Chain A
């Protein structure tokens, strides 16, 4: 062998052996280095989880009456592995099924497609589960039609009918409570992506709103998982795991179905009454709270909707109506999300402010027809002069001009348009003490926070709107170029960042830019009633396991105290009692056997309705009772409902009637809902608990 040959052979040998070592290195990396990664990848290729959702826990009222439970529905389901193997991919069978059920073929087709099988952006109604489980076309089939499917299996290969659990809001005692209960629905991609830190399985239902959303982690339970190993053709080769589902826990609320139903019907009546006397009456809210705990005993919002429509399968029209202005946006909870100017109900805050500023509450004050602030006249309500009044009387008949004068004087004292560095701002700080701009913190999702139009808010507002007001002629729409609005814009452009005298005056009677939710006003009046404690409202009382074990009891929380002395508060309560005895609510409550204290409110609303008409006043009545030993705060609000007394106070009286068992002009103690106060012990939970008459 010559030298070159020998050398070549060695080179070839080194080269080839290094190729083999390269393979060994790669093998080590794949199997040992990246082994775990590939093991997971392989597992996701081979295994399929079949999810058996847990029975959802019930939501019950304080005496155990079910508000949300599970009903057995008849589901008509499709087995994709069977229909896909048919020569027309199940086309004939699906259209036959659609016809039998009275549905459109395209709806049925969509409902049986995995979302990934439909084009992006066109996946409405797709099946969010897997193909290994029966896919429901409907969960609420007519039994005779479902029977036809089972009997003629030859005509419906791959179609089956089976009983399934359907979330049901039984409406016992006529209760609706749609906004409080919420609803359940399928998971979205973002739920599944784990952004909120929870791991879900595709076919689970989760709470989408209300209590169903808030306590979903308890209500949902743990689904049973059957993991099967499949081959490339998706045939199951064996079962690798099978865990039983763990049913969800029950939520015991502080609601009472009797009171809830009464609040709902009183609210609806109030809205109808407002409409009958010519007001638009587009929405409303009513809340009953236990002033000693902050627990919500009833909570109603108008307009409402049937909470069961979600499980029945929402049609496109139903879904649209839910959020449409023309139907009054039924999806919106007015209690939590409706923001309205509090109007005269806010005078309770002003009274506290005046007391803190050193005004003598026992003195008399002038209630003229108008007060001039700067170059503008601010009118008393209905422009009536009432002469000199005690403060109590002023509250009772809801005199505005007293507050104009006090608020204006205080504004001037604080420096007017060039405010002092450490201005007292008695009105703003009293409002802050009532936590006007904070959420109540109730255990329901999507609460709105109120707006406190103080100096800081004004500055922020100005920064955002300066450009518009300073270029008003160019920016505004043609029909807004009236001399008044142009002058207003000019004024806003010059000193829109400052609290002007007019702003201070408006603020004192709950008008202007300050808005709150009905729930916030309830919290405020409960605090006035209980001696100053601001409770964080709660609607759930406890979480209870299916076997009766208590998992968690929600402890009521005091989250603040009113910025008022007990003397001030006791004076305020007397004044609020006077409202009902001799003031604006005297007529509504005349002859009512329970002593009620409260305050009417009639808020001016600016802006126009969709049809161009001017918006009607917001009607408020905020109250508590019994006046000597307050236990319940009841607030009603009717948007565009007219006067506080004639619309809302009447509704509130009806709620008290139910609460205290008022028959005619007498209290019938046997008819009172809570003779010894709201229940303090937890009820036994059963799906069959009846309403206690």
Chain B
């Protein structure tokens, strides 16, 4: 049945694929995208306006990013994911090349102390680490599902190969350094291996390593050099003495001050006063907290919950191991990244610069997130056959 898609005419294929999408997942993501767009606008309009710049600068670019991301996501759904396995080495290779390129002076650009961006014409920038997440998830899933005919389990050798596949890009991201992304990718890798049915000793061992690594990261690396600089640059020398926790404190106060119903969209004094730095990217959730209150920001958490629950449903129903592992990887990625980001704004997690999926301003992250959704829909669309 599944081959039917490839025999029909093009428009027919498109309609058939779209019919195969999980509508609840699509709607939940779409709502998040709309809310995110409003929040990016809320975070930047009065700031840019007061500087005499176009208040809609970020709004326009954010919408543009969403449109490109949507197209990429749709593109991702067109090719049957099972065929995608054949392209895995290419996807992985492109990811690694991007990560190497970003480290070359003259090509890569340093922002906030991390060399993680490649400048493109038109003022756009690409962050290869975001796209590398997809490479790693697909690569690892392929390796661990290669020999799987239901019931077979990956051997230690498979796990080792998988880890090797993941290790190179992770190492390259560590060099930038981008601790946040490393933590999220590592969490995804461990989750994929756990769900792959790999020997228990691997799962337990990796979990222990991940926990230790996470603990050390929190203790030592949570506020590393570039993040310290970032903190210091916001200590206003003329204002009241501010501790190094300025950003986190401001962020927590901004969320807390929203109360139950919030100050109303575009009406947050903390947001309009630009008290939280990087509010349109890493701290976008504080806008929701202040302006939409517990009802609005709680709704955002529920939307994430819905997306994850639907994604798990897709993973469980997946006919084959590859689809299941890809879904698991994407789930872990979204979940840990959302948890780290929102947890950070509320003072639960240490400060690492990761964006909030579907909401933060930033092209690469938006593209990667929507491609991730495309992968989930791809797996879902092929479950009927």
Residues of A within 8 A of B (CB): 1-2, 4-6, 8-9, 11-13, 16-17, 19-20, 22-24, 26-28, 30-32, 34-39, 41-43, 45-46, 84, 116, 131, 229-235, 237
Contact = CB atoms under 8 A, between A and B. Distances in A.
Given A12-B195, A235-B50, 16 more contacts: A2-B151, A4-B197, A5-B321, A5-B324, A9-B315, A17-B308, A20-B301, A23-B301, A23-B348, A27-B342, A31-B256, A42-B270, A42-B290, A229-B269, A232-B274, A237-B46
A639 to B, nearest CB: 50
Nearest to B269: A46
Contacts of B305: 17, 20
B384 to A, nearest CB: 18
A521 B275 CA distance: 65
Tell me the interface secondary structure of chain A in the complex: helix
B366 to A, nearest CB: 21
Nearest 4 pairs of A and B residues by beta carbon: A38-B256, A42-B257, A231-B273, A5-B197
Interface string B295-322: 0011001101100110010011000010
Contact of A46 (B236, B255, B270, B324): B270
B40 interface: no
Given A2-B153, A46-B273, A12 B332 contact: yes
Contact of A237 (B273, B289, B343): B273
B275 A45 contact: yes
Nearest to B194: A8
Contacts of A24: 298, 301-302
A8 B241 CA distance: 49
A281 B138 CA distance: 102
Contacts of A35: 256-260
A235 to B, nearest CB: 7
B36 to A, nearest CB: 17
Contacts of B382: none
A21 to B, nearest CB: 8
A2 B197 contact: yes
Interface in B354-379: none
A41 B253 CA distance: 7
Contacts of B273: 45-46, 229-232, 237
Contacts of A84: 238
B335 A19 contact: yes
Interface string B223-239: 00000000000001011
A478 to B, nearest CB: 54
B39 to A, nearest CB: 15
11 contacts: A1-B150, A9-B316, A11-B194, A24-B302, A30-B256, A31-B260, A34-B256, A35-B259, A42-B253, A46-B273, A237-B273
A31 B255 contact: yes
Nearest to A46: B269
B195 A9 contact: yes
Given A16-B332, A26-B348, A235-B50, A38 B312 contact: no
A690 B131 CA distance: 88
Contacts of B151: 2
Contact of B196 (A5, A36, A232): A5
B272 A231 contact: yes
B135 interface: no
Q: Which of A26, A27, A230 is most buried by chain B, counting CB atoms within 10 A of its CB?
A: A27
Given A16-B308, A234-B239, A5 B258 contact: no
Contacts of A42: 253-254, 256-257, 269-270, 290
A45 B293 contact: no
A19 B253 CA distance: 22
B331 interface: yes
Interface in B68-116: none
Contacts of A1: 150, 321, 324
A45 B50 contact: no
Contact of A9 (B238, B275, B297, B324): B324
Interface core residue of A2, A13, A234 (most chain B CB under 10 Å): A13
Contacts of B195: 5, 8-9, 12
Contacts of A20: 301, 304-305, 308, 335, 338-339
A214 to B, nearest CB: 35
B242 to A, nearest CB: 11
Contacts of B50: 231, 235, 237
B346 interface: yes
Contacts of B328: 9, 12
B294 interface: yes
Contacts of A32: 259-260, 294
A236 to B, nearest CB: 10
Given A2-B197, A32-B259, A27 B191 contact: no
B65 interface: no
